[in-house]
Amino acid sequence: MNKNTVIKDIDELTDIYCNDCPIKGDLRKKRGKSGAHKFCIEQCTVGEQLQFLGQELLKIYEKR
């Protein structure tokens, strides 16, 4: 995996699933921005994929 591929994958995931996510929107109203963010990080499967891709990106930058 290279940097551009990982960034492209992250962009695609956020464009497809996160930008118009009704769960995220509802949670922002009920719990605020940090509450919604916490859900995305801890419980959302897309959030898990984004975290994995973020770790892959860190590995690429650490090799430099």
Please determine, for residue 62, whether its predicted confidence score (pLDDT) is greater than 80.
yes
| Angle, CA of 55, 58 and 61, to the nearest 5° | 155
Domain count, the chain: 1
Question: How far is 61 from 36, CA to CA, in rounded Å?
Answer: 29
Give the separation between CA 50 and CA 35, rounded to whole angstroms.
Answer: 18
Whether 42 shows a pLDDT value over 90: the answer reads yes
Which tokens sit at 38? 């916490």
pLDDT tens column, 13-26 = 999 999 999 999 99
At 63 the pLDDT is 83
Give the pLDDT score at 56: 96
The answer to whether residue 64 scores a pLDDT higher than 80 is: no
Question: DSSP readout, 8-40?
Answer: HHHHHHIIIIITT-HHHHHHHHHHHHHHHHHHH
Using 50, 70 and 90 to split pLDDT, how confident is the model at 1?
confident
Structural domain of 9: 3-62
pLDDT, average across residues 27-33:
96
